[in-house]
Structure 1
C-alpha cells in the first residue's frame, strides 16, 4: 500500500508499513533523550463528556480541579476558562459552526437524558451486512427531510404544497418525516462527535485527506444500539443543522468518521494526578501513527489542544518510536490486566517487549 502524502514527515522519523502492526514510526536518525519529535495540533474530532462541560474548557481543555469555569456559553453548550479561549473557539467554529452547536444544544436541552445511559451492554458487534442495512433503512426518511429543509423561506404555499422555482418540492409528508426524526431518542455525545467531524471537514477541506489516510475499521460500532444511535443522529443533524452543512451530512461521511476514529482516538484527561479524570476523547490524525508499547520510548504530553511527543530516552536510528495507550495508573497494572485492557479497548494483542519477556 503506497503511503499517502497526507502522512506526516520529519527529518527525525519516517513512517513505514510493517508486517505485524500496519504502519509505524521509525527513527530516521539517532535521537537524544528529551528531543521534541513531533508537535500535533490537527484535532479533527473531539467529544467532551457533558458531565464535564461546566468544568473543562471547550477550547483548551483546561481544568480547574472540578470548579465551574467563569465563562459559560449556554447557547452552544460549552464553558471557557477565559475570553481568549471563547474567542478562539468561535474563530475555529466559524459563524456556521456557532449556529450548528447552538442548534444541537437547543435540541439536547429540550430532551431527556442521553440514550447511551439506557443502552444494553454486551451485545454483539454488528457486521458489515447489518451496518449497510441500517444505513440504507433510513435513506427514504433522510431524502424527505432534505427536501423539507431545502425549501426556501419565501416559497409560496399552494394547496398544501410548497413550490420552489415552479417545481413541487415539499408536502406534509416531507415535514412529517422531519418531525418524526426530531421525536426519536437522542444521543448527545454521538451528536457532538459527528458535528465536530463535519465542521472540521467544512472548515478545513484541505486537511480532510489526513483523516482519510488513517487505518480504518469497517465494523466500528460497539453494538446494535450504538449503530442505531448513529443512524438516528444522522436524521437529527439533517433536521437541525444550518443549510450550508447539509451536503456534508451523509452516511458516507458519518461512517468514515466512525471508521477512522475507532482505533485512532486519544483520551482527553486531566494533566495532573496521572490523568485520572477522563473528560472525553479526540482524534489527532498526525498523532495516530505512533504504535503502542507498555514500555514506550516516546512520552506524550498534552498542552491545551496540542499533543507533544518527546524522546523518553536516547533512541537509535531504526528503532520504532512507540508511545503508550495506557494512562498513568493503567501502566502499573499486571501484564495480564494490561493485555486484557488493550484487547478490549483497542482490539489488539500486545506484543511489546514488556509483555512478551518473562
Structure 2
C-alpha cells in the first residue's frame, strides 16, 4: 500500500489502515525503549493566541512566562527571543515571497493584517462561545455560500471595478471587528498554500472534521477574516485567497493540530496551535508507548517502552491535568475535543476507573 502524501517515513515504522481509527503508525521492527523515532520541524499552519503574542517567539515558540521579548517587529506584531530567530523568520518570509514572484509580498501581508487588527476598535468584552452549540454542516455550507457572494464584489473591487455594491462589500468587511487569531491562522495557511503548492495535498490528506467550528461565533470570525484577507492582501496571494483554501485549513486543523504549550512538565499555558503534518498520523492511547516533546519548533517522538514489530505506535492527545482523569472523564474529553470513543487498553481493560 502506498504511503499517504506527507506521512512520516522511516525504516522503523509504516503508516497502515486500522480497523476503527483510519490510518495509524505501526512498528516495522522491534524498537527499544528510549529510541527517537521521528523529529519534525516544519510546521505548515500555526498561530499564537493574541494574548501571548508579545511573550512567545514567533519563530521558535519560546515562552517568556509573562514577560515581553525585546526583539520586536511592531509592523507585523511579532516578537522574537533573539536576533537569530528574527532572521530565521525573515528568511522564511523571503522564501514565501520569492515563491510567488516578489521580494516582499509575505512581509506586506503580515503588516496589512496587523494594521487591520490595530486600527479597528474591538469590543471590550468579547462574546463568549463556551456554551454555544457547534454549527451543523448545512449551516456551515450556507454561511460560506453567502460569503462567496460577498467575495465576488470584493474581487471586482480589487480588479478596479468600482460601483456601489463593490464599495459596500469592501466597507462591510473592513469595518467588521477583526479576530486576530482567525486572521493570522488563515494567513499562515494561505502562505503555505501559495509557497508550497506541491505540499498542499499532504494537508488535504489529513483526516477532516466536517464540523470544525466550535460555535457560530468562530464560524463568523473565520468568514469575516476570509473577506478581510481578500480585501487587504497583496495581489500575489489573491489566487490563493478563496473559500476552498480558507475552508480547508480549519477542516484539517481541528483533529490534527498540536497545542503549542509552555514547556514545563505539565505544559500549563496553552499558547497556540499548529499542524505538523507527519505528526498527525500518530493515533491516541491513554497509555501511550510513544512520548512527544517539543523543542522549539521541533516535535520529537521517542518510545517509552520496548515495542514489538507490528505494534501500533500511539501518543496521548491529553494534556497534563487531563491524564489523571478517570476513564469516564477522559473519554468525555476525547469525545468532545476529537470526536471519537476511546477504546485503548486503559479505557477497556479490567481495571478501568469509572465515576
**TM-score under structure 2 normalisation?**
0.91
**2:109 alignment partner, one of 100, 106, 112:** 100
Confirm whether residue 258 of structure 1 aligns to residue 250 of structure 2: yes
Give, in angstroms, the shift of residue 100 of structure 1: 0.8
CA distance in 1, matches of 2:314, 2:125: 33
1:75 alignment partner in structure 2 = 75
Q: Confirm or deny: 8 A CA contact 1:150 1:243 kept in the other structure.
A: no
CA 1:203–1:303: 2 relative to 1, 3 Å: same
Give, in angstroms, the shift of residue 212 of structure 1: 1.1
CA distance in 2, matches of 1:315, 1:237: 47
Extract unaligned runs of 5+ from structure 1: 152-168
CA distance in 2, matches of 1:244, 1:115: 35
CA distance in 2, matches of 1:67, 1:227: 32
**1:133 alignment partner, one of 120, 134, 142:** 142
Equivalent residue pairs, number: 341
CA distance in 2, matches of 1:126, 1:118: 16
Runs of 4+ displaced beyond 4 Å: none
Q: Confirm or deny: 8 A CA contact 1:42 1:286 kept in the other structure.
A: no
Give, in angstroms, the shift of residue 18 of structure 1: 1.1
**1:341 alignment partner, one of 327, 333, 355:** 333
CA 1:121–1:63: 2 relative to 1, 3 Å: closer
CA distance in 1, matches of 2:52, 2:263: 15
CA distance in 1, matches of 2:133, 2:202: 31
**1:330 alignment partner, one of 312, 318, 322:** 322
**2:290 alignment partner, one of 275, 298, 308:** 298
Secondary structure of 2:122's counterpart equals: coil
Give, in angstroms, the shift of residue 150 of structure 1: 2.6
Q: CA RMSD for the aligned pairs?
A: 1.8
Confirm whether residue 26 of structure 1 aligns to residue 18 of structure 2: no
Q: Give the number of the structure whose alpha-carbon radius of gyration is greater.
A: 1
Give, in angstroms, the shift of residue 333 of structure 1: 2.1
**1:207 alignment partner, one of 196, 199, 204:** 199
Q: Confirm or deny: 8 A CA contact 2:57 2:80 kept in the other structure.
A: yes
Give, in angstroms, the shift of residue 116 of structure 1: 9.3
CA 1:115–1:319: 2 relative to 1, 3 Å: farther
2:162 alignment partner in structure 1 = 170
**TM-score under structure 1 normalisation?**
0.91
Secondary structure of 1:38's counterpart equals: strand
1:189 alignment partner in structure 2 = 181
**1:143 alignment partner, one of 136, 148, 152:** 152
Extract unaligned runs of 5+ from structure 2: 95-103
Q: Confirm or deny: 8 A CA contact 1:115 1:187 kept in the other structure.
A: no
Give, in angstroms, the shift of residue 114 of structure 1: 6.8
CA distance in 2, matches of 1:104, 1:353: 47
Q: Confirm or deny: 8 A CA contact 1:293 1:352 kept in the other structure.
A: yes
2:46 alignment partner in structure 1 = 46
1:122 alignment partner in structure 2 = 131
Give, in angstroms, the shift of residue 133 of structure 1: 1.1
Which segment drifts farther, 56-65 or 323-332?
A: 323-332
CA distance in 1, matches of 2:297, 2:280: 15
Give, in angstroms, the shift of residue 32 of structure 1: 0.8
**1:235 alignment partner, one of 222, 227, 239:** 227
Which segment drifts farther, 290-299 or 58-67?
A: 58-67
